[in-house]
Amino acid sequence: MSNSAGAGPRQHGESEQTRHPGQALKAASVASQSLAHDIPVYTNGMRIGLLGGSFNPPHLAHRAISLFAIKRLKLDRVWWLVTPGNPLKDNGALRELEERAQAARRMAADPRIDVTCLESVIGTRYTVDTITYLRRRASGLRFVWIMGADNLAQLHRWQHWQRITTQVPIAVIDRPPQSFRALMAPAAQALARYRLPENEASRLADRRPPAWVFLTGLKLNLSSTGLRNPDGSWKT
């Protein structure tokens, strides 16, 4: 499936979109079908939030975080990146990728949220590889990486985490009671001088990284762990 890697700039080229925007979007739609779970349909200039995770299972907090980010960051879309498996977690109870992706599409239920299994296509489980790929294949987009405060607390354990912060701005969504631990964690401390005031969140997608913002005000606090039974099955 990765043999289509050179097609992105031609299918989503700015000059084609400028001359015939409708035709360009139609061509992108056809291309996306042939790429199966690759990059969702887009037009250059869009502001795209990236929310990675196992989605095992997807839940209302994933959707709420996405809609919250769209509003606060002035995004056009959020892409859910359903990972083949998190390198920092025990994946023994992980459902099949396609099952998780289908459940994520049902949960998203919003035209501004796209679900992709991109990481399985490019053969990685590391965020740094995913971001590098997307920036190369879709250079006309303005990406923002979205994560919960619990992930900020362990960001320093991610593969090449410093490089991630120099490639995309990051929006951290508060998840009480994780706030204090997250903001005192090594990554947050190292990036303290690049933190934007929360009232400037709408400008984040336009900022040159490193840049990040800590967003408060989202009250929903579900987790996939809490929605799984001891045997790994999903609660209904």
pLDDT digits (tens, 9 = 90+) for 58-80: 999 999 999 999 999 999 999 99
Query: pTM for the full model?
Result: 0.78
pLDDT score, position 27: 35
pLDDT digits (tens, 9 = 90+) for 97-125: 999 999 999 999 999 999 999 999 999 98
Residue by residue, DSSP assigns 98-160 as HHHHHHHHHHH-STTEEEE-HHHHHT---HHHHHHHHHHHTTTSEEEEEEEHHHHHTGGGSTT
- Give the whole-number percent of the chain exceeding pLDDT 70: 74
pLDDT band at 162 (very low <50, low <70, confident <90, very high): very high
pLDDT at position 50 over 50: yes
pLDDT score, position 85: 73
